[in-house]
Amino acid sequence: MAAGGTGSADTASRILDAAERLVQVRGFNGFSYADVASELTITKAALHYHFASKADLGAALITRYAERFSQALAEVDAATDAAGTVPAAPAKLAAYARLYVEVLRSSRMCLCGMLAAEYPTLPEPMQVAVLGFFDDNEKWLQGVLEQGRTDGSLRFAGSSLDTARVIISSLEGAMLVARPYADVSRLQAAADRMLAGLISTSNTV
């Protein structure tokens, strides 16, 4: 991205906002620079000034999305710890599921979930970034699952890594199926059922 002043940074942010929405609604291959330029009433040359190629724009989108998601997870940890929630692990898993629900409620899809569907066609740097997003989510979920297994608030067979992967796959898949119905309750119901299967009978979220 080219360097610039405050105005330049604002334009770059607006470009990312518009492109993120387009990816979450249409997919990465479903929009062009012309679509972004038209939406923001700027020239394609201005787009290329900030992001030389669509691949550069895509990589920047994933980086920003991953940073925001990571911050959201940090806030889940902080809020749960501050509330003194016992047991904390089930509450964290419920909050994690709500992140997906709120994205669908805004008529969008998980950015990296959309990109995963187009993975074979993405430039290599974007492929690496998409994998990094899911790896980071798996790592966070592993920690929560191990916390819950240790304090007895969660129950699951197999490794925490396998279970973390099941959680992500279940939420991404449920979001995808709920989308054509425009029915957030389908995703919420799937998340609730999944969580119920993980929470020990002596604990509630």
What would the DSSP string read from start to end of 168-194?
HHHHHHHHHHHGGGT-HHHHHHHHHHH
- Cβ neighbour number for residue 6 with a 10 Å cutoff: 7
Determine which helix (DSSP H) or strand (DSSP E) holds 113, and give its type and residue range.
helix 111-117
pLDDT at 6: 55
Instruction: Please give the biggest Cα pair distance in the chain.
Output: 61
Nearest CA-CA partner of 203 in 98, 77, 86: 86
Tell me the C-alpha distance between 58 and 67, whole Å. 14
Alpha-carbon distance 128 to 133, whole Å? Answer: 9
pLDDT digits (tens, 9 = 90+) for 91-103: 999 999 999 999 9
Q: CATH for 54-198?
A: 1.10.357.10
**pLDDT value of residue 85:** 63
Per-domain boundaries in the chain: 54-198
Written as tens digits, the pLDDT of the chain (205 aa) is 333 445 677 999 999 999 999 999 999 999 999 999 999 999 999 999 999 999 999 999 999 999 999 999 999 999 886 766 667 999 999 999 999 999 999 999 999 999 999 999 999 999 999 999 999 999 999 999 999 999 999 999 999 999 999 999 999 999 999 999 999 999 999 999 999 999 976 554 4
Distance, in Å, from the CA atom of 128 to the CA atom of 20, rounded to the nearest integer, reads 18
The rounded distance, in Å, linking the Cα atoms of 10 and 134 is: 29
